[in-house]
Amino acid sequence: MTNEVGSGIIPEHSMARKYREALGRVNQMTAERASQVFLCVSGIPVKIK
């Protein structure tokens, strides 16, 4: 489980942007292989897949 990183502001520093992009790719690859995917919004799980 990780935090969602694509809906926030774009970081000012290049290292933080690279981290955000890498984590986003890892999240996508993980979700692609998972049988179920949930996004928690204000503590409420929302089924994505």
Rounded to 5°, angle at Cα 47 from 16 and 25: 30
Q: pLDDT (tens digit, 9 = 90+) per residue, 28-44? A: 999 999 999 999 999 99
State residue 48's pLDDT score.
94
> Which positions ≥6 away from 10 have C-beta within 8 Å?
17, 20
pLDDT of 4 > 90? The answer is no
Average pLDDT rounded to a whole number, residues 16-39: 95
Q: pTM for this one?
A: 0.77
